[in-house]
Structures are given as structure tokens and as C-alpha cells.
Chain A
């Protein structure tokens, strides 16, 4: 079926902007997905629009002054007999296509848990910032100067190139980048947690200076749904992020006061905290980047998933422990804190 332009417009317009845990359907195609990002097969496919947020958890963090014109990323996905292809589209009025001394090219990347490719998926997605120790992510990286890489990481600063073919084609036209990133992949699961990053080279962005999405859900072809994957966590994340169906139990205003009373404000920067401490991760968009379940767990067990930033943990005999003490308050207080953190968007 070939939708008429009007229908296409409608389809795009109807998709809500998702800050967290949107579902990205993967269309199954008989031939391999088109490599050309302007191909009709891509542009007629409905896109899921995601919100891009500046990376502020770990220095070097994205400067608020960077001249981003838009915080939307449109994602489409197709899957052929052997290849999985992702189509990314975002606004960028000034393309940066060269990389050199003090010059950085635009770039984009997609990540998912490395273990997710294997039949036995991890119980929960890795830390959003390129995974954490023991929970690696696979990354497909495209850069506008022609660089493309398959990478793996287990936290900031651990990127390692991986063998394997990765195809990427990009087109900048009328203020928009359209990029297709594709590689052979056969995830034996119904769903995959997936997250994206975009770099604006002309703003000096590279490395941790970037914009990211929260974890989303890549829904693979329904024919794959019976393959026995564990998508429980993803479902959980989705409900945690749907305020209507699962309203936060706590009270955000009480949570804001607890941030001061419980000492959180001594280490974390967030709106409403007059100090700008950098002892722990910046929380200014914690609610948009993370699920309530993740935030609650971080409070209760800070050392379970440690943000892999310098100085955020101590390491003894190879074992890492967060410098943040576990939350010692009541369940209700914890809910209030989570409600407050969820309000940071």
C-alpha cells in the first residue's frame, strides 16, 4: 500500500512526542531495507518522534548554550531477511560534514543492550549512558565525515570498536539530516530496549557533549513475538512512563523538600537547588531520561547501577561502590523523592 501524501502527513502528525519508552514498530520487508534515506519506502513509513535531551549526567556535558533548533528525533525501522535498518531524521540548519582540528562533524548513534542480541536478555536495561560495568551496550555510530563504526561500551569512556559490517547513508536537505544505519542483526526477541544520540558538530559536540533520548522500545515484527524473548522489563518501563495509567504514588512538592532535608542537594545539581554541586550526576532532566523504577532503585541501591562518571564511585579490588549512601527514609518518602525526580523534565 502506498499512502498518499495527505495520509502520510496525518500519520506523522498523529505521533506524539515521546520523552520515554515509546514503542518503535519495525516493519518487516521481503528485500533488504533501502539504504537511501530519501527512499520512498522510508518516507512513507510512519515515524515515532522522540525527545532529545542534553547529556548532563557526566562531564563534559552539553552546554545549554548550544544552538539546537529542535529537540525532536524521528525514528523509523525496517527489517529485511538479514539486515536491521534504522532511519533517523532531525532538524539541523547548519550541517557540519568535516572533522579536523577543533572541528567536529555531525553524528548520530543508536544503542541497545549487547546481551539483548543473545537469547538470554538481561533483566533490566543497562545504564542509559552507554551501559554500565557488567551491562554492555552495542552501538551503531554514524558521522557526517564518512566515519561509521560498530562499537561496544560498558559506561562512559569505555567505547571499543567491534568487528562487523555497518552501512550508513546520510542526506542533508533543506535543514534536515536523514540517515539510514543498517547492519546484519537477528535479535531473537520480540522487543529491544533502544536509545539514540545526536551530535551537533557545529556546536562543538562530540563525546559526552550530545543529546540523547531515554530508553525506548523497538518492537520487532510480530512474527518474531513468539521467539521467547523477555520483554517484561520493557513493558514495565512503558507503564512506569505512562502517568495516566500509573500515576506516581508520591508527592513531588514533598519530594522537593526532602531533596534538601535528606542531603541530596549537597551533591546533585537540579532546578531549584541554588548550589551547583557536581559531586554526583546532574539531575536536571532525570525524569525525562529515566523511569520511575530506575530512579527508585537508584535511591534504594545506589551501587547496583552506578553512573560511570569520574568520582561517582570508589573501587576496591575491582568492586565498585557508589559514593552515595542508600536512602534511609521511609517508603513514602522514597515515593515522594521519585515523584519529584520524575517531574524534572
Chain B
């Protein structure tokens, strides 16, 4: 456990699924040199298979006795969805088309069977009660990282000053035990360098007092960044004071440090189109993801939202609206600094 922990809260009530965070991360870190396939940040639709495919059932993390559970390394084609090329030259080359009137249709060179966002917006349920929500995911910079525990070389370390989990590229030998061990499947293998890489929580930005790129660029301002012990920060307020931000799959045993404000949803409708008083996103599903406190948190959110509707003040709603960046990011190292 590190001395301090930089954490992130994502308010799922505001996520648009626009993938601006994904683009911000990719252009910043992973669009080159063997990282082309990697998504340190991505947004998936839940319920769904997620990314990589079926990561929630891929093993890893710790069992009740604190032993590493076996986990599988995702398959490049089946679970990540190998990127495909599009046959621009054959389909669009005018000379080629003249020479060969039966030019193929524009399309992928190999039929794709999976990829990030493969089941986007699919969700579950039938009209008018179909439902889904977006789940943005980065490395959880866990308090007890399974990737770190699984590495026989001690190549993964957790920084004492902010709890950021990093892969030492000089020590990593590409054994990939970390990839199977991470229950969130957020460690990737770089085939160019033959080593593991992962989200670095934009530590070079953090060291300059800036929020990670994914959080900075989010148009919905759903991401709050700050130290868990910084009582003046929004992260502390949401996680500890209001207790409305919950870890994802805490039962994996790694102590994840990305927290989620679970999504409220409109009522289910009966066959006459009348609200039934039952939330459309089943509580049971949210409990599966965010633990037993999810319904209680939804109750708090609902109550505070009602207050605001009645024109009464709600500090929690004001906080979640996130009027200004400087209210939601507090990444400066100094405790209590603004």
C-alpha cells in the first residue's frame, strides 16, 4: 500500500459513450510503436461482453485467502479483435476498376468477429424496457495489484507518493503473467518490444499538476481526480463523505482505485406505457458490478436529485454537475494545495 493514493471517480450518469477519453489516451500514449492495438482507456457498453471480450470472467485477482487466482491471457483475434485492413486499393482504385469491372466491395480484408465496441449500445431488455449504460475503464491502480503480485521479476511497482502502478520497462521480460493476473485485463503486451505496458495514469501530467488526459478531455466532465486523503477534494467527498462512488468488482480482491457513481435509470414501463416504479437498469446487475451498496447509493442520488427538482440546494448535485475543472481535479502533490 502506498503512502498516498491518487484516485479517479467516474459518474456513469453523465457518460455519453463518445470515446473522447479513448482518443485522448490513444493520441497521447498508444498510437505508435507496437501499441496500436492497445486501449489503456476505453468505454464499453454494459450489459455486454466488454473489452477484451468477457473480461469479467477471465480470472485473475485474489481468492478469499489472498492467493492469486489463475487468469487467462486474452487471445488477440478472439478477445481483443485483431485489427483488419480495408481493401481500399482493390475496391477504389479507378484503374483497377477499369481493368476489372467486378471490383470487390469496400470492406475489411478478413471478416472481423470482434473488436472494441463490438456490442456498443446493444444492451439488454426489450422495447420499451431495453437498457444499457456506458462503462469507461482504465487501469484501477489497485491498492493490492494482482499484476504486481504475479510478476516473478518484480518489474511492476506501485509509487509510494501517489499509488500509480507502473511496469518497469527495464525489468520486464514479457512473461505476461501480469496480463492473466489482472482481473480487469488492463495490462497489454507490446509485441514490438516484447514487454507489458499499461495505463500510467498520465504520471508525467500528474507530476506537472495536470489531470490525466482522459479526464481533462471528457466533454461530460464525468471524471473526478484527486487523492483519497485530500479532504478538500471532490474524490474524497464522493468516496468517503457522500459514499456514492463504488469500486468495480471489489470482490476480485485487488482494491481498485477507480470508483464509479452508479447510473440511475428511468422507470420500467408497463404494457400501458405507465411507469412501474421499478428502475429499468436492474439493481441486481449493478450489485454484480459495484457491490451490495449500489441500491443504497442510487437512493441517495435519487433523493438529492429530487431536492434539486424542488429548487432546494444539493451540495452533492452541485459537485456531480462539475461546473469547473478546478473543482473536480486536485492532483497537486502538496496535501491541501489547490
Q: Which residue numbers of A lie inside 8 Å of B, CB to CB?
A: 58-60, 99-102, 147, 156-157, 159, 206-208, 310
Contact = CB atoms under 8 A, between A and B. Distances in A.
Interface string B161-185: 0000000000001111101000000
A101 B152 contact: no
B191 A101 contact: yes
Contacts of A159: 153, 173
Given A101-B73, A101-B74, A102-B74, A207 B177 contact: yes
Given A60-B177, A99-B194, A101-B80, A157 B154 contact: yes
B153 A100 contact: no
Nearest to B180: A102
Contacts of B179: 101-102
Contact of A102 (B73, B153, B154, B194): B73
Contacts of A58: 152
A102 B177 contact: no
The 3 closest A-B pairs by CB, nearest first: A102-B73, A207-B175, A101-B76
A147 B191 CA distance: 13
B62 interface: no
28 contacts: A58-B152, A59-B152, A99-B174, A99-B194, A100-B76, A100-B189, A101-B74, A101-B75, A101-B80, A101-B176, A101-B179, A101-B188, A101-B189, A102-B72, A102-B73, A102-B74, A102-B75, A102-B76, A102-B179, A102-B189, A147-B194, A156-B152, A157-B153, A157-B154, A159-B153, A207-B152, A207-B177, A310-B152
Chain B interface size range? 10 to 19
Majority-rule SS of B interface residues: loop
Contacts of B152: 58-60, 156-157, 207-208, 310
Given A101-B189, A147-B194, 20 more contacts: A60-B177, A99-B194, A100-B76, A100-B189, A101-B176, A101-B188, A102-B72, A102-B73, A102-B74, A102-B76, A102-B176, A102-B179, A157-B153, A157-B154, A159-B173, A206-B176, A207-B152, A207-B175, A207-B177, A310-B152
Nearest to A208: B152
Interface in B118-155: 152-154
Contacts of A206: 174-176
Nearest to B177: A60
A253 to B, nearest CB: 34
Most buried by A among B72, B152, B189, B194: B152
Contacts of A157: 152-154
A104 B89 CA distance: 34
B73 to A, nearest CB: 4
A37 to B, nearest CB: 24
Nearest to A102: B73
Contacts, number: 44
B1 to A, nearest CB: 18
Most buried by A among B176, B188, B191: B176
Majority-rule SS of A interface residues: loop
A58 B177 CA distance: 15
A99 B191 CA distance: 8
A100 B174 CA distance: 9
Contacts of A99: 174, 191, 194
A128 to B, nearest CB: 16
Nearest to B175: A207
Interface string B194-209: 1000000000000000
Contacts of A102: 72-76, 176, 179, 189
A140 to B, nearest CB: 16
A207 B75 contact: no
B336 to A, nearest CB: 36
B282 to A, nearest CB: 34
Contacts of B189: 100-102
A156 B179 CA distance: 20
Nearest to A278: B67
Nearest to B80: A101
Contacts of B191: 99-101
Contacts of B73: 101-102
A208 B74 CA distance: 21
Nearest to B72: A102
B55 to A, nearest CB: 14
Contacts of B188: 101
A207 B189 CA distance: 16
B79 to A, nearest CB: 9
Contacts of A208: 152
A136 to B, nearest CB: 16
A310 B151 CA distance: 11
A207 B180 CA distance: 14
Contacts of A101: 73-76, 80, 176, 179, 188-189, 191
Most buried by B among A59, A147, A157: A157
Contacts of B177: 60, 207
Contacts of A60: 152, 177
Contacts of B173: 159, 207
Interface string B7-41: 00000000000000000000000000000000000
B178 to A, nearest CB: 12
Interface string B69-109: 00011111000100000000000000000000000000000
Contacts of B75: 101-102
Nearest to A145: B194
Nearest to B176: A102
A105 to B, nearest CB: 10
A206 B189 CA distance: 15
A102 B72 CA distance: 9
Most buried by B among A60, A156, A207: A207
A181 B18 CA distance: 53
